[in-house]
A and B are shown apart, each in its own frame.
Chain A
């Protein structure tokens, strides 16, 4: 069983479209994250949810909206996609009292 799974793995879309990336973890963790990895492989946290509550919201355009329907899911919705949004987006999870995180396989988003 995959611990942290994301769908889709690849996403190619046109500028201006709205798209969603889904993430699910079966580890029983209470904290989930979205990280963005740019073309230079730099990783930066975007959001963090703990027990469905948003606890970290880095400087991210408000076109990005995370949604956590329950502890095991954290979806990322992106409105009005721009070329600069092209990146690999990683979902991750951890237990708040145990450090480190397990990462999903990543979603490679390409905006054309």
Chain B
């Protein structure tokens, strides 16, 4: 069965610090990978996605992620975080099988950025 692991449940950083959130997945087939962000009290928003091609993908708000197939990883990075980046971050894998198209989410990482 497909699964997604986010090992960092809670990360606290100071502004301007660099960020890396880990994401590992378990799926034997071709994967499509996503990072979603959920700001306090809000809905999920897509940060970035990987379908194919360049394994380093850039998303909104200065975020990027690197797909490393050999490590089954898709870590999220940002060189310098801001207080406004405080949110919950979810890694997800798209399990595509025929007509089904469902996202399997990791358990999320709560990022708190201190001013």
Contacts and interface: CB of A to CB of B under 8 A. Distances in A.
Given A41-B107, A90-B44, A105-B42, A99 B94 contact: yes
Contact of B49 (A50, A90, A99): A99
Interface string A33-65: 101000011111100101000011000000000
A42 B94 contact: no
A94 B88 contact: no
Interface residues of A, number: 25
Q: Of residues A48, A102, A103, A105, which shows the largest number of chain B Cβ atoms within 10 Å of its Cβ?
A: A103
A100 to B, nearest CB: 5
Contacts of A50: 99, 101
B25 interface: no
Contacts of B44: 43, 90, 92, 103
B4 to A, nearest CB: 10
A106 interface: yes
Given A48-B102, A100-B32, A41 B43 contact: no
Contacts, number: 60
A39 to B, nearest CB: 12
Contacts of B45: 103
B101 A94 contact: yes
A87 interface: no
Contacts of A100: 32, 34, 46, 49, 94, 103
Interface string B7-43: 0000000000000000000000000101010100011
Contacts of B36: 103
Interface of A: 31, 33, 35, 40-45, 48, 50, 55-56, 90, 92, 94, 96, 99-106
Given A48-B101, A56-B102, 9 more contacts: A31-B101, A33-B103, A41-B110, A43-B108, A50-B99, A96-B99, A99-B96, A100-B49, A106-B43
